[in-house]
Each structure stands twice: as C-alpha cells, then as structure tokens.
Amino acid sequence: MDMALFVDVSRWSVFRGLIGFFEEKLGVTPSYIQVCGRRDPNLDQCIINNIDNLKGRLCDGIPELGIPSGNPYTFDELLITDGPNAKIYIRDAKIMGMCDFVVKSFYADIDRLHFEAEIIFKQVEINTTYDFNVRLLVPIAYKGPIYLTLDNVGAKADIDINLTTRDSKRYVYLSKLKINIDFKNYNIKYDVDNSDLAQFYEIIKNFVGNNREEIIKILKPVIEAEISRRIILISNNIVKQFTYEELFPDRT
C-alpha cells in the first residue's frame, strides 16, 4: 500500500523541488504550485494545498524529476510467512486506489527536520498472485490469483530528514521513515483451478474468513516495510537533485 501516495504525502520536499525546478528551468512557477517558505506561519496548510494540487500529477508520474507512475503501485514479491511447514508469498502485486485520498493533517517541524502526516484512502484494491507451499499430511504447493479490497485505509507517517554537504552546498536526504497503516477489514476473492485441491481450498477459505485479525497482523508489518523501503528510495532519488536552500527557501 506506490502504496505510492504514501510517497506523495511523506516527501513533501518533492513539491519544493518542483518549485525550484520550474523556477530554474522555466523562470515561472506553475499555477498549480503554491510557494511555501519555511517561515510561513501557515506552512502546514500550504503543504496540504500543494499535496491536493499535485497528487494527480505525482500519481501519473513526473519523468523530469524521476517520479514513476504510482497507479498502479507494483512490487514483485513479498514473503508473508516462512516456517518449517508453510511458506507463503504474494507475487506480481498491483495496488490501485492510492490516488484517491484525503489529507487529514500535516505537521512540519523545520528546526528538527521532522514531518508528520495522516491520510485516509477511500478504497484500495490489490490484485496479486498467492504462492503457498504447505505441509499437512503431504506437501501441497499452489499458485493462483487473489483480489483484495480495503475500505477507508488510514495511514500515519513520521519522517526525519538529514543534511549533507556536497561541493560546498547543503543537500537533504530522507534518513528515517515510520509508517503505520490501519485497516479494520477487507474483502477477499481467490481462484483455485485445480479440482484436486477443492477440499484444501475450503480449508483455506474458512481459515481466512475466521481469522481476519490474525491475517491483518501478518500482512501489516510486511506491507509497511515494503512501502517504507520504496518511499526512501524514490524520495532520495528526487531530492538529491536540489540543494537545501532550493527545497526550503528561508522566506515567508
């Protein structure tokens, strides 16, 4: 759960980078970008306005800043569990709905280089392939499509950035990111094409239906770790193009 819009919310410095890019390359600031000085008394709201203005463009991708499309957000493989009697993966996942979100709050502490964001995704859809290898009385291995739908997904992000000096100029980089996603329920559909596994399919179906909280506890940290890794990678590839003064001009 790019979850790509987590990328959009957590790296608000990208928006400042957009300002610097257009001012340097084009000499004008696009109408959809609101300049936010770090001494602006309404800095938090200014950032929220930019997120609302830019989330569609960021989700479609901005090639000149190295931002890939975030719709769908994709990843190749996630390990769900790896025990002596069960190995379960999800592979080739596509996540839709990350562009349809509302920013509930945003807090920027420029002095500490710390930021906090809270957002709500209205609906998130995940199309992926499950790959399980379990051992009951005999080993059973199977792959098949799975479809997840989650409504009203909450997300909180705590972000820390640091400064580094290169060629006598200061640059920022995202050093720490903690994401906490919150989803209470989900709808799940999956296919089993092998008639020999029909009974096992019923066992899995009943397990999923009767153990939703346990499954959420398994999925949640795995998804959070993948999202954090991706956000840090993409964000740092973007902000390295701009100096600290370009990203955070000292003005109101």
Residue pLDDT, tens place only, 4-16: 444 454 555 555 5
199 vs 230, residue with greater confidence:
230
Residue 8 included in any domain: no
12 vs 175, residue with greater confidence:
175
Residue 25 included in any domain: no
- Residue range 115-158, pLDDT digits in tens: 999 989 888 888 988 887 766 656 667 777 888 898 888 999 99
Report residue 4: phi and psi, to 5°. Answer: -65, -25
Q: Helices (DSSP H) in 3-140: which residue ranges?
A: 4-10, 13-25, 43-60
Highest mean pLDDT among 135-139, 168-172, 191-195: 168-172
Question: What CATH number is attached to the domain comprising 184?
Answer: 3.15.10.30
Residue 94 included in any domain: yes
218 has a pLDDT exceeding 50: yes
Residue 1 included in any domain: no
Residue with tokens 């991708």: 61
Q: Could you list the residue range(s) of the whole structural domain that residue 189 is in?
A: 42-247
90 vs 77: CA distance, rounded Å: 6
Of 220, 224, 151, 233, the C-alpha closest to 185 is 151
Residue 129 included in any domain: yes
**121, 137 Cβ separation under 8 angstroms:** no
113 vs 174: CA distance, rounded Å: 10
Is the bond preceding residue 145 a cis peptide, omega within 30 degrees? no
Residue 118 included in any domain: yes
- Residue range 53-62, pLDDT digits in tens: 777 777 788 7
Of the chain, the percentage scoring pLDDT greater than 70 comes to: 76
- Residue range 73-115, pLDDT digits in tens: 888 887 777 777 777 788 888 888 877 889 899 999 988 999 9
Coil, strand or helix at 206: helix
The helix/strand count (H/E) of the chain reads as 6, 7
Residue 20 included in any domain: no
Of the chain, the percentage scoring pLDDT greater than 90 comes to: 17
Q: Helices (DSSP H) in 99-197: which residue ranges?
A: none
249 vs 226, residue with greater confidence:
249
Q: How confident is the model at residue 29 (pLDDT cuts 50, 70, 90)?
A: very low
Among 72-81, 152-161, 187-196, 208-217, the minimum mean pLDDT is found in: 187-196
Residue 223, both tokens = 């998804």
211 vs 145, residue with greater confidence:
145
Residue 169, both tokens = 């100029």
What is the Rg, in whole angstroms, of the alpha carbon atoms belonging to the chain? Answer: 21
The stretch 214-220 carries a mean pLDDT of 79
The total number of structural domains that make up the chain: 1
| Residues 6 or more apart in contact with residue 151 via CB below 8 angstroms | 122, 123, 183, 185
Residue 95 included in any domain: yes
